[in-house]
A and B are shown apart, each in its own frame.
Chain A
Amino acid sequence: MDEVALLRRKLERERAARKEAERILETKAAELFDANQNLKKLNQNLELEIAKRTASLQESELRYRVLVEQARDIIYNVDDEGYFMYVNSTGIERFGYTEENILGRRYVEFIPEEDVAKEFAYYTMVKERGIKTDYHEFRVKSKSGDLFWLGQNVNRVENEDGSYYFTVVARDITQRKMTEAALEVAKLTLQKSEVKYRSIIENMDLGLMEVDTEGKILRVYDKFNQMLGYENDELIGKSANETLLVAGYEKVLQEQDANRNKGETGVYEVKIKKKNGDEIWVLISGAPFYNEKGEIAGSIGVHYDITDRKNLEEELEVARSKAVKAQQAEKAFLANMSHEIRTPLNAIIGMSHLLMDTPLNDEQQDYLEALTSSADVLKSLISDILDISKIDAGSLDVQNKAFNIHRSIDQLITSFSLQDPTNNVVFESAVDPQIDYMLYSDPQLLNQVLLNLLSNAQKFTRKGSVNLSVELLDEAANNVTLRFSVNDTGIGISKDEVAIIFNEFKQANTDIRNKYGGTGLGLSISNQLVKLLGGTLKVDSKVGEGSSFYFVLTLGKSTHKIDGTTVIKRVEKLRIRDHKILIVEDNKMNLKYITSLLKKWDVDFTVCVNGKEACDLAEKEKFDLIFMDLQMPVMDGFEATQIIRSRTDQNQNVPIVALTASTFLSKKRLALKAGMSDFLSKPFTPDQLFEILSKFLSQTKHEVVAEGHLPFSKQLDSVYLKEAYGDDRAYARDMFETFLEIVDEELLLLREVLKEGDPNLIGQKLHKIKPTFTMVGLSQISDQIESMERKLKSKEAIDPMNWYSELKSQIESYKPILRSELKMLSEWQND
């Protein structure tokens, strides 16, 4: 280590350290200097502040002096002997002197001579008692001799040496003194007029009584005595309530007395008793009265005898309650009767439907139709009466459920569209598309109202259109206001008639009843249902142009958006009524399935069960389309097709669609070869059937709307079931019901065939029953049957009876599921 270099570094560090220390100290010194400067500045500010305060003190003293001088009150000082030491300018002016004249004068000189003794005595008293402050009113005389009143506050101010003087603030109160005198006069006048009015009241049929705050009678008037048969001295001093009040009304009086003591008036009715014990009803108007000090001294009651009126009211009430009871009994009777009648009536209707399925001659057919339609009318009448009595009895519960308004309206309109056989009236609907969420209301009640209105419109409209619209009037965070209206182009209603159509059993006029029928309950029910839903049913109408029934409801909004993914297809309106379809099918399930769909779409059809019958029918009648099963007893579909095609008649070129359960293309080819136009594989969906109808009848159109589906059990083929039935409960129910009815018989037949062992017959049988199972969601059973079919075809070794018993036990195990599905579907329908 280089010693010199080391020392140099040490020296450098020490020098640097010294410099650093100097810099730090200089900085500190500068900070100290600044702090010192700030202190100096603060000191200067303080001095300035003191000067300012002093000036403001002087200013405020001046201000007070000016205030005293300019005050409208007289302000002065007198010494202990009553000599003026200071008088402000108001005082000098009021006393009528100049400042020089007044100072040194004595206060007593301003008192009128007649008051001097009194005032002197007062001031002597004040001085002797050493009273420090006091208020005093007295008369004063000015220099010119005017007399006026002063009210003054006197303060004794003591000096340090024990001597004292007075500071006085006085005000001219002459005006007030004069008002007081005038009031005295007015009071006398009032007393006179009171006597006058009292005598007037005494001459009226009103009994007056005065009581004190304790309820003791102070005074009674003659009319009051006459009313109750008392003398004055029999009542005065007694407790009014104890002597006069009939038991049971104490509470009313207690409340009234309490109000009176608060200074409130009141009118009330109670029963009081006369001296002879008779009771009378009185209307009392009570009011408090006051003594001179303004305190409540008691109350005065004006009594008016209302016994006659009360008796009448009671009689009326008795009569009314009797009437109400009678009315209730009538309603209960009506409700019970309606219910009792409905039960046998349902039997009549059910039986007549059954009867219709039996062979009938034309005459019997006519009678039966008349019977059925009368029974239907009777049933709807009874339902209406039952509804009315339910609404009247208030026993109708209004639900609040989420529902899809588009779907509800759509289903309604569809059912009406399909009902109209003449097609003269177009049913349309328009629901604001902005409503893309579920709504809360009672969908069933709402549906009933709209159904009633639509039925009504339908009844009175012979041509044109019926239009149901739902407009969105207002939308808030949690609810929407909607305007429902049903407009028609029917006969319309006159202004006079509009007034009565909502009444029960009222139709516009008797002519209408004769011509159009009905009970006149529909609109009344609708009106009441709309009320229950929170709206008012109204109508605009013009005779000959049509009517518009409408109402506005505010409904809750669901956060649940309408799901656009569950979409199935719907027929809006099939314009294929002029067409006639022939169905040739021997399988009951298939027949039920296809005819239900065609009925639903309002398509005209004829049914037969084998090829032979089909040929016979085709000979007699023109068909626009034939659905032909392939395997049938007596004559199969191939043969029947060939025969029809070979004839030169109206049906030679009719489209014939094969209904085949076969998935084998060879079968289909065979069908086409036999002259068939197309084929439909069983089981088919409504869509597939519809496609065929569209293809061959061509005047149909399709529309897609959002719809839901039924919640089928997961153990069934729900994909197929959804596709086949959508949300058509009635349809699905019919299918399940038919299946459960026929399945045992079908199995028995299958067993017979299997037992006989003819492979051809077995194949045919299997082929026939295969689709039946798919239709109720048992696709796997159908699959097993198909695989058996295949084995038969390929001549594989089989044990038919063993296979059968296994198949049967599987089907048995599914039966409870199918029954519970059927139960679910039926319950929903009744819902």
Chain B
Amino acid sequence: MKGIVFTEFIDMVESKFGYETVDHIIEASDLESNGIYTSVGTYPHSEIVQLLLNLSDRTKMDAQVLLKAFGEYLFDTFLKSYPQFFTAKENAFEFLKSIDSHIHVEVLKLYPDATLPKFETTEDDNGSLIMTYTSERKMSALAEGLIEKSIEYYGHPHSVEKKNKKEDGSEVEFIIKRV
């Protein structure tokens, strides 16, 4: 998993819960990296899972809620660091459709070893966008946070309905309707 996910996660935890919590979840987890993350590095997926679960433990908040909140937080970072991806598109649908076909392609150019989730998009007869998240990492809540924040960014309200296609969460469908 790319280092930026870890550094941003640590930043989010520090800003929301203070460094004491950061210190706690690092110490409570068994980490190969010893909790030392840089955005240019790559770290095992299992570490973010441990950090998330320990955060959930510490804060008594649901891990999925935390993950979604992290998605929302991450969106701001992406917007700040890579504004061109957002300004190039006129609306939320255009942007969401471009994740798989454009943004992830660009990511892979820079980081050929990155493992990215798949976002297949289709539009149904009612004009809704159906976005299918597929990843063995099962972090659809993160995706949900990102999706909702990007809709907010483009200013037109949409409803987002989430459906598990596979019970283990490795395949999840988001039905996004214009309101």
Contact = CB atoms under 8 A, between A and B. Distances in A.
Nearest to B10: A13
A776 to B, nearest CB: 78
B19 A21 contact: no
A10 B23 CA distance: 8
A17 B23 contact: no
A21 B40 CA distance: 6
Interface in B24-70: 26, 34-41
A253 interface: no
A117 to B, nearest CB: 81
Contact of B23 (A6, A20, A25): A6
A35 interface: no
A6 B23 CA distance: 7
Contacts of A1: 20
Interface in A86-126: none
Contact of B36 (A7, A17, A25): A17
A18 interface: yes
Contact of A25 (B19, B34, B35, B40): B40
Interface in B1-35: 7, 19-20, 22-23, 26, 34-35
A6 B40 contact: no
Nearest to A22: B38
Contacts of B20: 1, 6
A509 B16 CA distance: 132
A384 to B, nearest CB: 91
B75 to A, nearest CB: 23
A20 B40 CA distance: 9
Contact of A17 (B19, B22, B38): B38
Contacts of B23: 6, 9-10
A24 B40 contact: yes
Contacts of A10: 19, 22-23
Interface SS of chain B = loop
A16 B40 contact: no
B54 to A, nearest CB: 16
A6 B19 CA distance: 8
Given A13-B35, A13-B36, A20 B19 contact: no
Contacts of B34: 16
Given A6-B19, A6-B23, A20 B35 contact: no
A21 B35 contact: no
A16 B19 CA distance: 17
Nearest to A14: B36
Q: Which of B19, B23, B36, B41 has the most CB of A within 10 A?
A: B36
Nearest to A28: B40
A652 to B, nearest CB: 108
Contacts of A17: 7, 36-38
Contacts of B22: 10
B52 to A, nearest CB: 18
Contacts of B35: 13
Nearest to B34: A16
B22 to A, nearest CB: 8
Contacts of B7: 17
Closest 6 CB pairs of A and B: A21-B38, A16-B36, A17-B38, A24-B40, A20-B38, A17-B36
18 contacts: A1-B20, A6-B19, A6-B20, A6-B23, A9-B23, A10-B19, A10-B22, A13-B26, A13-B36, A16-B34, A16-B36, A17-B7, A17-B36, A17-B37, A18-B38, A21-B39, A21-B41, A25-B40
Interface of B: 7, 19-20, 22-23, 26, 34-41
Given A7-B19, A18-B38, 17 more contacts: A6-B20, A6-B23, A9-B23, A10-B19, A13-B35, A16-B34, A16-B36, A17-B7, A17-B36, A17-B37, A17-B38, A21-B38, A21-B39, A21-B40, A24-B38, A24-B41, A28-B40
